[in-house]
Amino acid sequence: MKKTSDLKLPTAKKISEGTGNGGEFHQFSGRTHPELTTQQGQPISDDENSLKLSNTSRPGPVLLEDFVLREKINHFDHERIPERIVHARGAAAHGYFELTDSLEKVSKARVLSKVGEKVPVFVRFSTVAGNAGSSDLARDVRGFAVKLYTQEGNWDLVGNNIPVFFIQDAIKFPDLIHAAKQEPDRGFPQAQTAHDTFWDFVSLTPESTHMLMWIMSDRAIPRSFKNMEGFGVHTFRLINAAGDTTFVKFHWRPKFGLQSVIWDEALKISGGDPDYHRRDLWNSINDGKLPEWELAVQLFDEDFVNKFEFDVLDATKLIPEEQIPLRVIGRMVLDRNPTNYFSETEQVAFMTQNVVPGIDFTNDPLLQGRNFSYLDTQLSRLGSSNFAQLPINTPKCPMMNFQRDGHMQFQTPPGRVSYSPSSLEPNTARENPDTGFTSAKEHIEGDKLRVRPELFADHFSQARQFFFSQTETEQNHIVSAFIFELSKVETKDVRVRMLGQLANVDMGIAKRVADGLGMPGKIEKVATTVPARTDLPESPALSILKKAKTSLEGKVIGCLIADGTDAATVVGLGKAAKKAGADLKIIAPKIGGAVAKDGSVIDADFQLAGGPSVLFDCIFLALSADGASTLSTEAAAVAFVHDAFSHLKVIGATSEAQPLLDKAGVVTDKGVVIGKNGLAAERFLNQAAIGRIWEREPSVRTVY
């Protein structure tokens, strides 16, 4: 078994004896770095692995006695007051979950057994790295946290919109976030990973490679929250009434389908509307276009675990849907916006430890650490051990225990008994071994070790599988994202090392990135114990475009007007868009609207400078000849059309709008639909339902 600490790190300059934070450190013979210690000064032997009861084949549970893990995460959890350290920028909504297919045979959880029963939910979406004031469209993994208020207590399914994660062991989480956050000496860059410390860390952490492929893909710049998938990330256990267990992974699949934006578009949206995602969520619910997801599960047994190529307890790995198909068991609908952002969205406290009888944990070392960290974080952030009494966190089922007093106690428990067992009062709470939470029975033998199982050592095979499961367009975007991010890295050695890690995935990918960076020459692979497998089959389910839906439902059409526009064209387009489930928004040179050809006033939703085309899924130019001529001299109008074309959007236009199309450099292709007045509308909407014109991309930007 190979320890992560055996990895060869770059040699540092020898450090002479000196003073550290308030005390001396001593340079031991042959070492080039000072010793890493706890806050109490104890030298740390392994900062890569939490202490587990382990054997050579499977990780065991993380041990409570691991004071190194507890101190490190405890300190990290308390670094910010009161803003969340991670997932600070969020938006949320109320709704319900309804079970449609019972899992009673594999779980005794009521929420997974009673078909037709609706359970209230509160869902919070968020970016991870940015502070509360950052932009919604940062390239980042998105938090997808669901609190289900079940009849057996709160169940928090605290996941992301990406099914894997950067690290395998929770002890590395503080390091990951410190590296990704703004650099501590300068306080920037904020809400982005395109800087030295992040890429230095991941280039030295090969287990991050699979996640890097996802984070450099279009999954990291979603069109909206309602166009994201959600994942529980970890493998959990289900327990039935007989005590039998089944492994499970949880998936949320969006009704509106997967959709992302283009990177240049994301940058411009951040300037045009940094609240783009939260505004879309709020407006969608307000307008009755309710976001909805299917809950699906992957169920598997110990036999599959033993045959699977990787360890199901490794959070940097996934199980392809082609190997374990998804089984849809329910649906979640968000139908009510928060009444107060602070009281609900900010004060909601999610914790992975919140499960109900019939659902249990596994020995995934990242999950085990999260179970400790989330409670500790809430205690710090919300200032009291009574945070569960806040209305947004309070269960909607009976609650009774002997926890008393504390800062901000809202309850007034009656009686003299606050302990168990007791005999002085007849109605005090008692444990119930029949219905209460019980852990899965598991026989474990092993030594107390800071190690990782051998199956955790393959860091590149699934990264390769993910890349080659994408369409050519999506692969190009991943390569471009690596080029963009690494071009922001000032330290050449970090870029060289990252190319060496990419070469472990595929030399072709590494060479394409190197070419885009202007770094010719031989690429040396970083040493690895397990080379990438080339025999893993493609998984189409990993691609956004391979499972894209043809629909206008939930999309927003931007219609540009000016004085002289034909009102009937706009009205007809609006009716057709509504019938297709889309919204039509009117953009005019002035917010007061424009005077139509018939003398009526067409009201506007956006003033041109404040309504750039990046805010819309497709655009229609409903212009007269005079209107087009006037707007052709207006930079904002030219940019409106040019950006839509370069962002591969479908453009509809009246024939009179041609001068503006020409000025914006629009070249006619299947995504440019022109017709007399309203005659183009139907053809435009049919084409827009298909989505972006990916064939246009090589003509508008360099593809490496």
d(CA 678, CA 569): 5
**Does a structural domain hold residue 532?**
yes
Q: Say if CB 91 and CB 97 are below 8 A apart.
A: no
Q: Are residues 237 and 176 in the same domain?
A: yes
Q: Which residues contact 358 (CB under 8 A, 6 or more apart)?
A: 107, 108, 109, 110, 112, 113, 238, 239, 240
Same domain, 364 and 506: no
**Contact status, residue 213 vs residue 467, Cβ threshold 8 Å:** yes
- Which pLDDT does position 22 carry in this prediction? 37
Q: Quote the pLDDT of residue 677.
A: 64
Does 622 map to a domain? Answer: yes
In a domain, 108, yes or no: yes
Contact call for residues 142 and 126 (beta carbons, < 8 A): yes
Is 201 a domain residue?
yes
Residues 373 and 504 in one domain: no
Sign (positive or negative) of CA dihedral 607, 612, 613, 614: negative
Domain that holds residue 486: 457-546
Residues 539, 556, single domain; the answer is no
Geometric angle at alpha carbon 451, from 446 and 457, rounded to 5°: 115
Q: Classify residue 48: in a domain, yes or no.
A: no
Specify the pLDDT at position 398: 86
What CATH number does the domain containing 541 carry?
A: 1.20.1370.20
Task: Report residues of the chain scoring pLDDT below 70.
Answer: 1-31, 56, 80-81, 677-678
92-128 confidence digits (pLDDT tens): 999 999 999 999 999 999 999 999 999 999 999 999 9
Residues 353 and 337 both lie in one domain: yes
- Do 87 and 235 lie in one domain? The reply is yes
Whether 205 and 304 map to the same domain: the answer is yes
Domain match, 533 and 557 both: no
Task: Tell whether 559 and 540 lie within a shared domain.
Answer: no
Residue 427 lies in a domain: no
Residue 153 host element (H or E): strand 153-160
Which pair of tokens denotes residue 506?
Answer: 């595929």
CATH number at residue 568: 3.40.50.880
365 within 8 A of 170, measured Cβ to Cβ: yes
Alpha carbon distance 207, 455 (integer Å): 12
Q: Is 407 a catalytic residue?
A: no
**Which segments within 310-464 are labelled E, that is strand?**
327-336, 359-360, 447-449
Domain finish residue from 494, 527, 546: 546
Annotated active-site residue 161? The verdict is: no
Residue 4 to residue 450: CA distance in whole angstroms:
9
Query: Same domain for 532 and 506?
Result: yes
Q: In what order do the strands lie in the sheet with 606-607?
A: 606-607, 583-588, 556-560, 618-621, 651-654, 672-675
Q: Which of 505, 530, 546 is the last residue before a domain boundary? A: 546
**Segment 552-608, tens digit of pLDDT:** 999 999 999 999 999 999 999 999 999 999 999 999 999 999 999 999 999 999 999
Domain assignment present for 25:
no
Q: Which of 87, 94, 195, 251 is catalytic?
A: 87
Within a domain: residue 47?
no
User: Looking at the structure, do residues 540 and 567 belong to the same domain, yes or no?
Assistant: no
Q: How many domains is the chain partitioned into structurally?
A: 3
* pTM given for the model: 0.90
Whether 499 and 523 have beta carbons less than 8 Å apart is answered as: yes
The residue among 331, 361, 389 that closes a domain is 389
Please give the mean pLDDT across all residues of the chain.
92
Q: Are residues 277 and 136 in the same domain?
A: yes
Write down the catalytic residue from 160, 161, 227, 337. 160
